[in-house]
Amino acid sequence: MRITFLGIGLMGDPMVRRLLAAGHAVTVWNRTFAKAQALADAGALPVAKLDDALRDASIVISMLENGPIVAQVMQDALPSLAPQALWVDMSSTQQAEAQAFHALLRGQGHRFVDAPVSGGVGGAAAGTLAIMAGGSVDDFEQLLPIFSAMGRPTLVGPAGSGQVAKLCNQLIVGATINIVAEAMLLAQAAGADPAAMRTAIRGGFAESKILDVHGQRMLERNFVAGGKVATQVKDQRNILAAAAAAGVVLPVTALVTERFEALAEQLPQADHSAALLGLEGLNPGLRVGSGADRI
């Protein structure tokens, strides 16, 4: 069973490496061919043309920037897809987009699972991604050996449900990053050591992966992108779109979205922990730590 993987970016590269390490045969394609070629030494088969990459592939995995790009690549790919091909979109898109992809592929005799991930580049490299899948039970079970090479998969419902779970994840991540930034700045301004404060509260109810990873980033003032501000803005807007479609008002998420949108005007490519920089901008003269910013 040959896998074709479309999209070799920050996440796609380590995800493919995990698949190869697990013994899967993987063909890789990227619009910038050099990124696909970089995986040849790891055992992947880089292919420059999309139609050639799709030939005889029973499983197609896409990890692309956003829903419109997934839609364009999917339209371009349709004539070359093998009968009953199973397309797994691991990108982060809107729920409505995932449902539209499902309808399009099903109408052409193919199958679809949306399976966005959480865990960042580090989780992709370690094979510990949280994988949230939406699709049929049979398709999910067929994909288990593939998903398990990359992380911990969970079937959360029918097509489109994976994207809902990812949006819930990003809702919590985006809000918590901003709250951790506020805690860091409050500790600094009130005379406490932010690093010692973080150590003191760990193990209590405030403990989280965000406090661990992004709290450390803020202390080190390391804002080199793992997850980009621009990507978080996209996710925040998708959350609000899903909420509107479901008839739900999310006032805290709306405020968090505004904060990331303001930050994106200046630092779209910075890590989303740069929320601290946006907060410091609202508090002139206050700054966590004394180190130089890395962006």
Report, as residue numbers or ranges, the catalytic residues.
Answer: 166
How does DSSP assign 194-263, residue by residue? HHHHHHHHTTSTT--HHHHHHHHHHHHTB---SSBHHHHHHHHHHHHHHHHHHT---HHHHHHHHHHHHH
Q: Please state, in angstroms and rounded to a whole number, the distance separating the CA atoms of residues 234 and 229.
A: 9
Given the structure tokens 């910038």, which residue do they identify? Answer: 32
Tokens of 254: 């709306």
CB 151 within 8 A of CB 129: yes
Q: In this structure, how many other beta carbons lie within 10 angstroms of the beta carbon of residue 233?
A: 21
Q: Please state, in angstroms and rounded to a whole number, the distance separating the CA atoms of residues 26 and 4.
A: 6
Q: What's the residue count for the chain?
A: 295
Q: Please state, in angstroms and rounded to a whole number, the distance separating the CA atoms of residues 23 and 227.
A: 28
What is the CA angle 226-228-230, rounded to 5?
170
Q: Please state, in angstroms and rounded to a whole number, the distance separating the CA atoms of residues 62 and 91.
A: 7
Nearest to 25 by CA among 3, 58, 54, 46: 3
3-state secondary structure (DSSP) of residue 24? coil
3-state secondary structure (DSSP) of residue 59? strand
Q: Please state, in angstroms and rounded to a whole number, the distance separating the CA atoms of residues 91 and 109.
A: 22
